Structure 1
Amino acid sequence: MKSILVLSSVVALAAAGTIDITKYPPLDQQAPPIPGINASYDFSKVPAIPVKGWNAAGGYAICPSTADAISWCSLPCAQGSGCDATRKDIISSCPTKGDWAMTFDDGPSNNTVPLLDLLDKLNLKATFCLVGSRVVERPDLVQRMFDSGHQLCVHTWSHRVLPTMTSDVVISELEYCARAIQDITGTRPTYMRPPTGDTDDRVRGISAAMGFKTLLWDHDTFDWEGVSLYPNALWPQWIQNNFTQWIKDPSLTKGPISLEHDVYTMPAAAALLTVPLVNQAGFKIKTAGECLSDMRVYQNQSYLLPPSGVAGGKLTVSTASASSAPAPGASATAGANKPSSSSRIAPASFVAAIVAAVAALVF
């Protein structure tokens, strides 16, 4: 699919690697409500669904009754009920067999760099669902992703489970992440991914009012579980084995959207094995937007994607100027819904070995 460029005027993008972090909440803390934000969107169609409970001891959302879960299409509580098939705003697979959208969550981080290097070498494009707190930490990587033609996706400011949040917090979690991406790239994503895949009609209604489509997945590596449950020596092989089974699955009638994580050291290293595996199996690796034939994956762009069709992979963008987030108001609640940074560490020698093995395999 070739890219079609529609340019009305050209404006300069934000300088790569720069962002004013004083406009944003503290890293990894719940985003405070943004005063006056409701005037920017029409939330009149958002259904009045109760906030999910939260089991603090177990660290998980409490499901509503089965009837309510199905009625509100509360996922993953209603998984398997078929309610997601009745919601046009839920995307979990590519419609065309043979396509494959590889998606990576929770970054960017230093662990993302080897993955970007590999994708560049293979001339492949992926989708990165970015946490706002990581975005402001590594604006240089966000700019690199965008310039290389990868699709950027909103994954909230602090990785909160959105149905457990009040609506004003859901709005601010999405808005701060989207603004951070826009401040760096000049573009605002059209796709969002709810942390842990937890969503319902209220959260999706808010997202839709803000111009976001909900991107889920149908092939989960569960690579994040290996942070604490699996020995380092088994981890990459375990993830690779998942993909080996998936690419041979005769029941595939659509293109997979797979979920991996590039924020953690070991899953990011394992991705260096899974990307060549899918590519060499003959699947067409695409961004989520490209596999859906959706060429407008940014809300304020005047060009059409995929950017991989642009000569040299560089984009010339005509867009509205990047918005600025107001200074945070009330103090934020501490504690992100994710493992601590200490759980992301793996032996450097092991990761180096993985990188060397992949280099010998594909370069």
Structure 2
Amino acid sequence: MFYSITSTITLILSAAAFVSAQTNTTATSSGPPAQVSPVWLSTVVPLSGNAKAYPSGTVPTGPLAALTFSTAGYPEGWKSPPATSAEVQAVVKALDWTLVPNSAVRKADSKGDLTFTGYNSETDPDCWWSASGCVKSKNPLVPADASACPKAGDWGLTYDDGPLTADAGEWAEPHLYDFLAQQNQKAGLFYIGSNVIAAPAAAQRALADGHTLCVHTWSHPAMTSLANDNVVAELYWTLKAIKEVTGVTSKCWRPPYGDVDDRVRAIAWQMGLTTVLWDLDTDDWNMPGDGGGNLSPETVDGYFEGWIAARQNGTDNKTGHMVLQHELNNATVSMAEKWLPKVKEAFNVVPWNQCFDISEPYWETNFVYPIGNGTIPAGNATTSSAIPSSMPSSTDSAPVSEKSDITSNSDVSPASSAVHNLPVSGYAPVFLGTIAILLM
């Protein structure tokens, strides 16, 4: 299933151009509030030795450099961080809560499974992805999600849950990063804050290699089940970890399991983050492996084979794709390395931001990335990172996947097998459409 993007997104997001002001602006009737640089991270002092710009030559490979990083002051890894800390509360007080929809905090049972009882997924007043696959809110104060590359033939390469830490043995980073370097390939990396402070040298390598670093929360929860302050805490600590380790402040995030609604989107947006989802799901997390499931690798092979065949026979000709993969364990990394060369024969493989012409994915302006045509804009790239002027039409929500029932979305349905060592089962392969983009 393939999707395109409505021209109305240009109008909806036209008022959301990024500015460098340090105070929140008020919303306008034409779109979401303008984003601002996260001033509450301005005092974070990054580690030394980081890259200062997008790489122009050969990127590093081989063993990671020795790096000492103190985790003092950070919450416990892979545990929901408390919202009562002074740092989190400072962010809470900095946000304009009148611009955050009053959507309900979702209920979960004792296992952590979200409850959909009583929610009307057909009318879907909160654009709750887990209930309906919605990626474009009807609320003008809430921006749409980035979920599929606009141009047919583009393959937005993304990997979640990194950096893969040393306890993964030989499959730990820089295993995947070295492979990507050998392939001369960049990707979008959605980082768990807990893993960033556990593997800081890997995060530094990823930035030096030219990958795009984004937020994937601190402890990988279903975000709609959290109260507002806890949503802030999950995002804040991950933003801080990435900033302190690598020196960059991300403008992008992906909700674990795709679980997002207008309330969570609006909080993330005010924290300087655009919501990034996907329209093709490899289901690689569910293969046997550390923290994985029992999906046959041959089934995942079949997904890749089908996508490649559709592109080569001309039936996949409407839009490009954003593809969900993981640097989770030996199974996902080996699957990624197996298929990337074959995917590149059929698709133009780029990190997600490149297919949207986003050349500045961080609030720091010294990193200027290639845009869709492969060139790096000269000077201030904010003038060359606008929404493409010609975009095909799109749906406002994701149709039911051919691989799962959206109303019983396993993407936010926890299970005892504990994906990523958490009590949540995994990723429903829902095919999404529509796009929001960071305006610069």
User: If the length of structure 2 is used for normalisation, what is the TM-score?
Assistant: 0.63
**Contact 2:136 2:144 (C-alpha < 8 Å) held by counterparts:** no
Question: Are the structure 2 counterparts of residues 93 and 18 from structure 1 closer, same or farther at C-alpha, using a change threshold of 3 Å?
Answer: farther
**Contact 1:24 1:176 (C-alpha < 8 Å) held by counterparts:** yes
Aligned-pair CA distance for 1:336: 12
* Rounded Cα–Cα distance in structure 1 between residues aligned with 2:148 and 2:230: 28
Q: Which has the higher helix share?
A: 1
Deviation string 1:135-189 (CA, Å, 9 cap, x unpaired) is: 1110111011111110111000000111000000000100100110000111111
Alignment-mate amino acid for residue 92 of structure 2 = N
> What residue is the counterpart of 1:240 in the other structure?
301
Where does 1:77-88 land on structure 2 (aligned, <5 Å)?
77-79=131-133, 83=136, 88=143
Aligned match of 1:297 in 348, 353, 361? Answer: 361
Deviation string 1:4-26 (CA, Å, 9 cap, x unpaired) is: xxxxxxxx962253433112100
Aligned-pair CA distance for 1:239: 2.1
Whether 1:104 and 2:137 are equivalent positions in the alignment is: no
Aligned-pair CA distance for 1:300: 2.9
Percent identity for Structure 1 against Structure 2? 29
> What residue is the counterpart of 1:321 in the other structure?
none
Task: Work out the number of aligned pairs and report it.
Answer: 300
Aligned-pair CA distance for 1:337: 6.9
Structure 1 gaps of 5+ residues are: 1-11, 311-334, 342-363
Question: Are the structure 2 counterparts of residues 216 and 67 from structure 1 closer, same or farther at C-alpha, using a change threshold of 3 Å?
Answer: closer
**Contact 2:143 2:265 (C-alpha < 8 Å) held by counterparts:** no
Question: Are the structure 2 counterparts of residues 131 and 211 from structure 1 closer, same or farther at C-alpha, using a change threshold of 3 Å?
Answer: same
Question: Are the structure 2 counterparts of residues 229 and 26 from structure 1 closer, same or farther at C-alpha, using a change threshold of 3 Å?
Answer: closer
Aligned match of 1:178 in 230, 239, 249? Answer: 239
Whether 1:20 and 2:70 are equivalent positions in the alignment is: yes
CA RMSD of aligned residues (A): 2.6
> What residue is the counterpart of 1:272 in the other structure?
337
**Contact 1:149 1:306 (C-alpha < 8 Å) held by counterparts:** no
Aligned-pair CA distance for 1:67: 5.2
> What residue is the counterpart of 1:117 in the other structure?
178
Whether 1:62 and 2:128 are equivalent positions in the alignment is: no
Moved more, 247-256 or 196-205: 247-256
User: If the length of structure 1 is used for normalisation, what is the TM-score?
Assistant: 0.76
Structure 2 gaps of 5+ residues are: 1-44, 50-66, 166-170, 377-415, 423-440
Aligned match of 2:98 in 44, 51, 59? Answer: 44
Whether 1:90 and 2:90 are equivalent positions in the alignment is: no
Aligned-pair CA distance for 1:305: 1.7
* Rounded Cα–Cα distance in structure 2 between residues aligned with 1:42 and 1:336: 39
* Rounded Cα–Cα distance in structure 2 between residues aligned with 1:196 and 1:99: 23
Aligned-pair CA distance for 1:247: 1.9
Aligned match of 1:151 in 206, 209, 212? Answer: 212
